[in-house]
Amino acid sequence: MSKILLLLEHKENRRLLSIWLEKNYEIFYPNSDDELSQSIFSFDLCILDGRALDKLNKWVLKTKKAQEPVFLPFLLMTSRQDVSILTRHLWKSIDELIISPIEKMELAARVEMLLQRRQLSLQLQVANHNLQELNELKTRFISIASHELRNPLNLISGYTQLLIQSSSKYSEERKQDLFNRIITIVKNMTGTLNDVLLLSKGELAKQKLNPIQLDLSKFCRVLVNEIQLGAGSSHVINFLVEGENSESKILADQKLLSQILINLLTNAIKYSPTDSTIELQLVYQAEKIIFHIKDQGIGIPKKDQEQLFSSFHRASNVGNIPGTGLGLAIVKQCVDLYGGTIKFQSQIDVGTTFTVTLPITLVKSS
């Protein structure tokens, strides 16, 4: 419901107008000039008379300027004899006027037209904000393409040239090593592109939960083994399970769980020193599960923590460690879609622990 502020010095006019308008709008007015100047009123249209305008003209100009570029309409009620003394400077303050005695239908039409202009202005502001976000997304995508994709492509080109030009000099083991490196680089590039497309198209927000029967402990072990295989011997991932229902199956969205755990575990590896240990702990509780992902990495500076789940945001201490700043944004959206929560504790040069809590439904054994 649109909000209308009444600033009428004539109290009887204010009372009658308020009674008539409150059928369709939210009506309010200050009890004093001090209350008006000290309070922040949120309104869509202000109706005032000449005496109020004389006293509050500076406030009107200040209020309209604060709303720019959004249109905030002011409607002046005035007598016919006062119209002749209105100056052209008045239109800096007033957007429309209505002459008394007032016809209800005329007033209703003017109010609705001004409110429609107000709503259109607000919609344009939202559209402009969305366009600015899209433009920023495009700029960041180009930056990612030039930094996160160009270097891997150069490596692929280099390895391919070696295989073409020096194939006869290399042993089969050496050739296989180069092929494996190319495959790993392609997988990483594919992951980067998938992350960008997932967020830029808003695909996550459109997804619906697709729960299936899942042996969660087994699922996590398989996932950990796959990530451990990719990490090689550089890091060790320990998987721990606690809780009375650890052997039970649950109804869960496997795709969302994969997105959450893969991003958190690969981040833990990426930002931890070689030969350090990563810990994934799964805790079963009544109607919920809790994941603790703990690393011994570089930690997250306090100044970066507030924006940690924002798209493209990266902590100020990552240095030359490659990344897009999309992983945690994806995790947060997945957790929100699941109806869960994500929290973290971090200490510089000690490590970070992410805690994800998700609601679950246990599958009753037949």
Sheet holding 351-359, edge to edge: 236-242, 277-285, 288-294, 351-359, 341-347
Residue 139 has pLDDT above 80, yes or no: no
- Banded model confidence at residue 201, pLDDT cuts 50, 70, 90: low
Assess contact for 195 and 326: CB atoms under 8 A.
yes
pLDDT band at 365 (very low <50, low <70, confident <90, very high): low
Domain 135-201 class in CATH: mainly alpha
Q: What pLDDT score does 86 carry?
A: 63
Report percent pLDDT > 70 for the chain. 89
Q: Domain 212-362 sits in which CATH superfamily?
A: Histidine kinase-like ATPase, C-terminal domain (3.30.565.10)
Examine the pLDDT at 196 and tell me if it is beyond 80.
no
Q: Tens of pLDDT along 66-103?
A: 899 999 999 998 887 776 666 656 777 889 888 888 88
| Phi, psi (rounded to 5 degrees) for 76 | -100, 130
Residue 95 CA to residue 100 CA, distance in Å, equals: 17
Number of H helices, E strands in the chain: 12, 13
Which residues touch 200 (CB under 8 Å, ≥6 apart)? 137, 141
The half-sphere exposure of 164 on its side-chain side, counting CA atoms within 13 A, is 6
- Residue ranges per structural domain of the chain: 3-102, 135-201, 212-362
Q: Which residues of 194-210 are buried (b: 16+ CB within 10 A; e: fewer)?
A: ebbebbeeeebeebeee
pLDDT of residue 202: 61
CA dist., res. 226 & res. 292, Å (int): 19
Please provide residue 223's backbone torsions phi and psi, each rounded to the nearest 5 degrees.
-65, -45
Both tokens of residue 359? 């609601």
Pick the CATH number of 3-102 from 3.20.20.110, 3.40.50.300, 3.40.50.2300, 3.30.1330.20: 3.40.50.2300
- What is the arithmetic mean of pLDDT over 311-317? 84
230-286 pLDDT, tens digit per residue, is 787 889 999 999 987 777 788 889 888 998 999 999 999 999 999 999 999 999 988
User: How would residue 148 be classed by pLDDT, with cut points 50, 70 and 90?
Assistant: low
Interval 303-332 mean pLDDT: 86
pTM, full prediction: 0.58
pLDDT of residue 125: 93
CA distance between the termini of the chain: 53
Q: Tokens in use for 156?
A: 């692929």
Q: Find out whether 313 and 326 touch, Cβ atoms under 8 Å.
A: no
For residue 187, what are its two tokens?
A: 């997988």
